[in-house]
Chain A
Amino acid sequence: MSKDILTGLLLDEECSLTLGELSCACGVYAEWVVELVDEGILEPIGRDAAHWRFSGPSLHRARIVRRLQRDLGVNLAGAALVLDLMDEIGSLRAHLCVLER
């Protein structure tokens, strides 16, 4: 099988995951994902949990939150703040790279 070329699913903005798929991909219970939505960390489209659709990058965010929670004992509000600050730092660094060269 090592010689075959595998084509995966790119989890981009156009890709959409159901609550079940996202929970499964993070190895967590759906209730935990619901808490992330309640905290505003993830913003699915759809009127209720059964119809929620999460974008690909949600998976990345959810996995960071899970690691922060597990490794550092950060609560959800703290993790949401960390994510916002990480986004901000990310774009500041990118700008800095452009300016410094």
Chain B
Amino acid sequence: MEYKDYYQVMGVEKGATQDEIKRAYRKLARKYHPDVSKESQAEAKFKEVGEAYEVLKDPEKRAAYDQLGANWKAGQEFRPPPDWDAGFEFSGGGFTAGDASAFSDFFESLFGRGAHGGFAGTQQTGPQFRTRGEDHHAKVMIDLDDAFHGATRTITLHAPELDAQGHVTTREHTLNVKIPKGVKQGQHIRLAGQGSPGMGGGGAGDLYLEIEFKPHSFYRVEGRDLYLELPVAPWEAALGAKVKAPTPAGIIDLKIPAGSTSGRKLRLKGRGIPGKPPGDLYVILRIALPPGDTQEAKDIYRTMEQKLAFNPRARLGV
């Protein structure tokens, strides 16, 4: 297990005041919050910062962590010294972060395992106690093709679970889930009863899957609409043409109107992701220039230069 330098994670000095630590946390939490952050690895960073703050904000935990000594380096192989926590008392219910179950092994070896979410405190209740199991949430990555045709995805989840003795264990959980045709980015699928089992005869929680599209090499997805950039030759754009264009449902013949300019958007109604109503496919024309690298090509360009009175910069007044 690796030693974690919580001060380094928070970007504060070892002597930082509790206020400084709080301010650093606020700032980092905003920066890496998975809902708003576009940083790569935002979710992992957010958890790391949450873990560091969990320790440093609590004077007891911070003092215990500090007395491990200043000689440890982040990433160094770490084993807690025997009786390292003698004299410290970590009062129960000390885990306040939203997802204590996600803390690192390093954290757990020092401070024990966080009670997971809704289970905290349920142990003391009487034998009459019934509670519905927790809901779980996960993301599922699908291809554009799956949204078009529907698909079945196998999903492996690591769900924290309470065993008969009340210990938290991690259970691996494999599910085959049908992805319905016509799903959109960000939509959720609810699988009733696939969350944590209930306690005392309560029903199981639900599993929520959030749909996320893997980026496609040439289609862009926006809701149910698709955008495709289609290269066309200058003569196809100028004179009009019938060209082949890909669509997720297959290759089609597309009519390019004469006099098309680069960036022109052609709308193919109902050719987007199926649904009620189906999305549209927008084809954006890009004029591709033939290279002037042969004598013949050069001659043609020269002829155009001489015979066409064309000033591409007329609009700029030059």
Contacts and interface: CB of A to CB of B under 8 A. Distances in A.
Interface of A: 2-12, 14, 25, 27, 56-57, 59-60, 63-64, 67-68, 70-73, 82, 86, 91, 94-95, 97-98, 101
Contacts of A57: 186-187
- Range of interface residues on B (Cβ < 8 Å): 35 or more
Given A10-B180, A91-B222, A98 B284 contact: yes
Most buried by B among A86, A95, A98: A98
A6 B30 contact: no
B190 A9 contact: yes
Contacts of A70: 98
Contact of B174 (A2, A56, A72, A94): A2
Contacts of A6: 175-178, 191, 194
Given A9-B189, A9-B192, A68-B35, A4 B176 contact: yes
28 contacts: A2-B175, A3-B176, A5-B152, A6-B178, A6-B191, A8-B178, A8-B190, A9-B191, A9-B192, A11-B187, A12-B187, A12-B275, A14-B276, A25-B190, A27-B135, A56-B188, A57-B186, A57-B187, A67-B33, A67-B34, A71-B29, A71-B50, A72-B26, A72-B33, A86-B35, A94-B221, A97-B227, A98-B227
A93 to B, nearest CB: 9
B36 interface: yes
B184 interface: yes
B191 A8 contact: yes
Nearest to B208: A25
B146 to A, nearest CB: 13
A71 B135 CA distance: 19
A82 B187 contact: no
A56 B229 contact: no
B226 to A, nearest CB: 10
Most buried by A among B36, B118, B207, B229: B36
Contacts of A25: 135, 190, 206, 208
B220 interface: yes
Interface in B35-56: 35-36, 46, 50
Nearest to B183: A10
A58 to B, nearest CB: 10
A72 B30 contact: yes
B236 to A, nearest CB: 19
A82 B35 CA distance: 10
Given A3-B176, A5-B152, A25-B208, A82 B189 contact: no
B220 A8 contact: no
A41 to B, nearest CB: 14
A97 B178 contact: no
A7 B26 CA distance: 40
A7 B178 CA distance: 5
